[in-house]
A and B are shown apart, each in its own frame.
Chain A
């Protein structure tokens, strides 16, 4: 069974587990087993057509599976898959920022700190 490292944003979907073991001979099969064991991860990893969501990077050991054979890439027993969605957390107090975003969104047509029109 390969090891799958779960990013913080997906941990609520794996009961808080940071690392899970999942069976399968290819990246697609391993991620499929993960989604069977933890159904809430499926829509976060896979698109409607069963392809990898573009905002999720998956690495086999240290290499992006997109430069390998994608979901068809073979996976060995001792391999590690890393699931990596983008993170943007930085300097700001998140609670305050959410409040700020809400107030901005009500004032402008676009939230997230960019001026209207973008």
Chain B
């Protein structure tokens, strides 16, 4: 005779390992994967802090994304400990996970014991739809999307590099996007600056960019700085941002930005382009090299292409800007290996990428020192500065 459902669950519980909530509480922060197998509506009411969400109906198809290692210790829980027991049996017997336990009494007992519960941000139905492809990625998911919505990213320039970056970061749901640019849209920009449009020629770029960003995602708060970054405003503008996207076109401002970002310990995702060539790196203060470690002094003006009349393939800032946007998202959600200590070169005509190592310079005039020791007067200054700028002009 077939067992009743209740009998079957009892039998399963005898076959699997169970763990008391007090023991699970002691494991928080350790390298144990805690997985909530309830439905989305239940998860939204509150869950164990740091838990991953894999509804039981998607267990077999999504568990590998959440816990790739078959030997990892996994604690499953549900509302009362029944569904998690069944899920534990599946993971162990069918999918070969070696160390699976089910939390006794589920989140109900967890709460009764007075342990903390994390209530995720409530996404609206529209947000659920909009970000659904992110939710499906284990590296981003609901938590990563929350981080994106809470993040503040500053874009230096709404030009070639800034255009694709701003559009995609807005689309990805980065909650606050600052844009620094004091130019107006010009017809010659539109060969590559895809955030602007022909009917907005003559409009300030920050306004034009805001219109496009809001059009693709009204969730985004756009903060406009219609000014040029300089020594008098750099600290005011960049303070409080989580990540800076650097598409600056000249060396003095790049050094200024570097020094200010080291001082405030804000990572900078930096790219530059010329002709068919692009460079990309992430300068994360004190974790990796800074811009001055890579380029301690700028080239003389005749070799400083930003000060000359040089062309650029219209598509190239798109390529490099989107690599920047990708690094920004990775930094915010904490996924993957950021391009810290590495410089990526892209050569479009031969379609080749080259990766070079960049090391911290122990003698670096800026990042070898404590952030509070970097003074206002020395920020952005480099040897032969006056001569450089005189030649550039």
Contact = CB atoms under 8 A, between A and B. Distances in A.
Contact of B253 (A44, A102, A106, A114): A114
Interface string B214-238: 0000000000000011111000000
B380 A89 contact: no
B385 A118 contact: yes
Nearest to A88: B306
B247 A101 contact: no
A14 B200 CA distance: 42
B279 interface: yes
Contacts of A62: 354-357
Given A18-B347, A90-B306, A112-B250, A67 B359 contact: yes
Given A9-B303, A88-B272, A93 B297 contact: no
B393 A115 contact: no
A88 B249 contact: yes
Contacts of A9: 274, 299, 303, 305
A102 B392 CA distance: 8
B306 A97 contact: yes
A44, A90, A101: which has the most chain B beta carbons within 10 Å? Answer: A90
Contact of B274 (A8, A63, A101): A8
Interface string B246-276: 1111111110100000000000000111111
Interface stretch (A23-31, A50-58, A70-78): A50-58
Contact of B157 (A57, A91, A101, A110): A91
Interface stretch (B33-41, B92-100, B136-144, B308-316): B308-316
Contact of B159 (A18, A88, A92): A92
B388 interface: yes
A24 B193 CA distance: 44
Given A44-B303, A90-B247, A113-B252, A82 B272 contact: no
Given A85-B299, A114-B256, A92 B356 contact: no
Interface string B191-203: 0010000000000
Interface string A1-29: 00001011110000000100000000000
Contacts of A118: 230-231, 252, 380-381, 385
Interface residues of B, number: 74
B108 to A, nearest CB: 55
B247 A91 contact: yes
Contact of B308 (A7, A94, A113): A94
B159 A90 contact: yes
A84 B161 CA distance: 21
Given A115-B230, A115-B232, A93 B189 contact: yes
B354 A112 contact: no
Interface residues of A, number: 44
A46 to B, nearest CB: 13
A94 B307 CA distance: 7
A113 B253 contact: yes
A86 B252 contact: no
Nearest to B311: A94
Given A113-B253, A118-B231, A59 B356 contact: yes
B161, B181, B231, B356: which has the most chain A beta carbons within 10 Å? Answer: B356
Contact of A90 (B272, B311, B355): B272
B17 interface: no
B58 interface: no
Contact of A55 (B232, B300, B317): B300
B340 to A, nearest CB: 15
B294 interface: yes
Contacts of A56: 299
Contacts of B248: 88, 90-91
18 contacts: A5-B354, A8-B305, A64-B356, A64-B359, A84-B343, A85-B303, A86-B251, A88-B248, A89-B306, A91-B157, A92-B306, A94-B305, A97-B250, A110-B385, A110-B389, A111-B389, A111-B392, A111-B393
Given A87-B273, A97-B306, A115-B231, 10 more contacts: A8-B274, A55-B298, A62-B355, A82-B345, A87-B306, A88-B249, A90-B272, A94-B305, A95-B188, A104-B393
